[in-house]
Amino acid sequence: MLLSDDFDRAARLVAVMTAADENSIVAKVNASVGVAGAGKVSGIEEVLASVPSGTAESLVGVIPIVPIAIRLAFRQFRGGTTAATGTSLAAIESVIPPNIQPENFVREMRRALVDETDWHVLWADACRAFQAHEYVRGYVLCIGAMDKAPPSQSLYLQISIAQNFEGFFKPYPSLYKEIVAPFFVVYWERTLAEYTCLFRTALTYTQRQLQTTDGSPKGTRRLLRAMYFCLNVELPSAAVQWLNSSV
């Protein structure tokens, strides 16, 4: 539904999934990815087990909500207008009114993708959201921050985001391939078109690096490693270590 930009249907899925209790959602997700058999532990169960008691509801909300923000950002990277994004958000809000939205996610998407919010503010608010175990809000604001930050800073933010998405979307490879991976590629396509002079490498070489991704987390890591080389920027050692490690 997201590939066809049907945000009305996406909102209805959010309403269904966030209205269920945690155990019901886990059962539905496991069924959708084919988890079966006694003694098996799914990816989503591992994620839920890693968070403090009482905060799993927010984490589970990431599954249907964050891909909406990713898709909206993808459309803007491809030349879509903030007005069009606003229209899509209004469609979502017609299905899920603000007073029942998990973490008021439509408002946060407007802050991240429509409003002229400074990227430092978005990133700081995202960090505070994660500390408060508001995972939906945190990821949405991260997406806005990496969009609005200068490319060299955005690269570092993307590394942090990609690390989290790599683990979180592991149980959903098709969702990663169709929604998450293209989001990173299209950001760099836009950046290369707008800021060619920032890259130390020849245009044709840099363009070829955009083809190093294959829709997998490993492909995203190759892409970000290639952009690190092409931009020739400084990064924290932990970020460089992650880029150079195998998946």
Question: DSSP string spanning 70-92?
Answer: HHHHHHHHTT--HHHHHHHHHHH
Residue 222 has pLDDT above 90, yes or no: yes
Integer Cα distance of 59 and 29 in angstroms = 13
Confidence label for 81 from pLDDT (cuts 50, 70 and 90): very high
Residue 92 has pLDDT above 60, yes or no: yes
In percent, the amount of the chain with pLDDT more than 70 equals: 84
pLDDT tens digits for 26-59?
554 444 444 444 443 344 444 444 555 556 667 7
Three-class DSSP category at 132: coil
Residue 66 has pLDDT above 90, yes or no: yes
Residue found under tokens 């459309």: 75
DSSP state of 178: I
Region 218-244: mean pLDDT is 95
Confidence at residue 59, expressed as pLDDT on a 0 to 100 scale: 75
Confidence at residue 98, expressed as pLDDT on a 0 to 100 scale: 92
Integer Cα distance of 151 and 156 in angstroms = 9
Confidence at residue 32, expressed as pLDDT on a 0 to 100 scale: 42
Q: Does residue 237 or residue 58 have the better pLDDT?
A: 237
Integer Cα distance of 181 and 175 in angstroms = 9
Q: Find the radius of gyration of the CA atoms of the chain.
A: 18
Integer Cα distance of 124 and 138 in angstroms = 10
Integer Cα distance of 141 and 160 in angstroms = 13
Confidence at residue 47, expressed as pLDDT on a 0 to 100 scale: 46
Confidence at residue 132, expressed as pLDDT on a 0 to 100 scale: 92
Confidence at residue 50, expressed as pLDDT on a 0 to 100 scale: 52
Are the beta carbons of 224 and 243 closer than 8 angstroms? yes
Region 19-26: mean pLDDT is 57
Confidence label for 23 from pLDDT (cuts 50, 70 and 90): low
Integer Cα distance of 10 and 56 in angstroms = 21
Q: How far is CA 131 from the centre of its chain?
A: 18
Integer Cα distance of 6 and 11 in angstroms = 9
Confidence at residue 31, expressed as pLDDT on a 0 to 100 scale: 46
pLDDT tens digits for 184-201?
999 999 999 999 999 999
Residue 127 has pLDDT above 70, yes or no: yes
- Burial level of 142, CB count in 10 A (0-12/13-18/19+)? buried
Which pTM value belongs to this model?
A: 0.86
Integer Cα distance of 71 and 113 in angstroms = 11
In percent, the amount of the chain with pLDDT more than 90 equals: 70
